[in-house]
Amino acid sequence: MNKITHIIFDLFNTLYRFDPERENTQIDAAKIIGIKISKKEINDALNQADKWFAKETAKNSIHLMSEEEKDLFYSNYEKILFNYAGHEISNEQSGIVWNFVKGMKSSLKLFDDASDLLNILKREKVITCIVTNFDSDGRILSKSLNVPNLVDYVITSKDAGAQKPSIEIFNYSLNFMNAKPENCIFIGDQIETDIKGALKANIKPFLIDRDKIHDEFNECIVINSLSELLKFINLQSN
């Protein structure tokens, strides 16, 4: 592998997770409409629903939707999520669930392996960047996440005027960082948006598969923890 000077990360479920965890929020939401779901059931359903989410947002940008359209989209996501969990719910019920989830106060928390890796990369002077499909500009998102001490750049689909898997957001990121694709890698958790998008831009991708649901995937290297990445990149400390 070429000398890696820049590493781009997806945001959700790659570097950061929701706090409280999404599984617990969805379990509490299910109780409101009289449904009992186990943590394993909702976790498996979230993995499937997130694939649908990635495909849909690859076609239709969320940040271009009106607030009413966003509510409808996320309400539909809840309906699909519950269907994957084995429960068919009505449009009214999915709306109730989404309103509960939307109203929950939550934050984003770094995975432990993400914090460890980012500190190593900072020490090794590797340039790092978050690229995410997000309805806010990167400067505001960076400030809200308090990442400047760990991550050099945050770029959103709003900044780039395009979203993953479009090649435009990857090229925008490379130009913004003054990076060459052959000296850059990308790490993300979604095949449709992250992996396929990076491949289009000739950036070597790594799929982070924390729940080990992509054992058969062979279009790129699959890792189960961000700490595994150090085995594949050329750093002085290795």
Q: How far is CA 77 from CA 51, 94, 176, in A?
A: 11, 8, 33
pLDDT tens, 23-47? Answer: 999 999 999 999 999 999 999 999 9
Which residues lie below 8 Å from residue 231, measured CB to CB, with a gap of 6+?
238
Residues 207 and 224 in one domain: yes
238 pLDDT exceeds 50? no
Encoding tokens for residue 90? 């009505």
What is the Rg, in whole angstroms, of the alpha carbon atoms belonging to the chain? 18
Q: Is 36 exposed, middle or buried (0-12, 13-18, 19+ CB in 10 A)?
A: exposed
- Decide if 187 contacts 226 (C-beta within 8 A): yes
- Decide if 13 contacts 210 (C-beta within 8 A): yes
Q: Which of 63, 86, 105 is the last residue of a domain?
A: 105
106 pLDDT exceeds 90? no
How confident is the model at residue 62, as a pLDDT?
A: 76
pLDDT tens, 130-175? Answer: 999 988 899 988 888 877 678 999 999 999 999 999 999 999 999 9
How confident is the model at residue 61, as a pLDDT?
A: 76
> Which structural domain range is residue 156 located in?
6-16+108-231
1 pLDDT exceeds 90? no
Residues 11 and 46 in one domain: no
- Establish if 238 belongs to a structural domain: no
Residues 48 and 126 in one domain: no
Percent of the chain with pLDDT over 70: 97
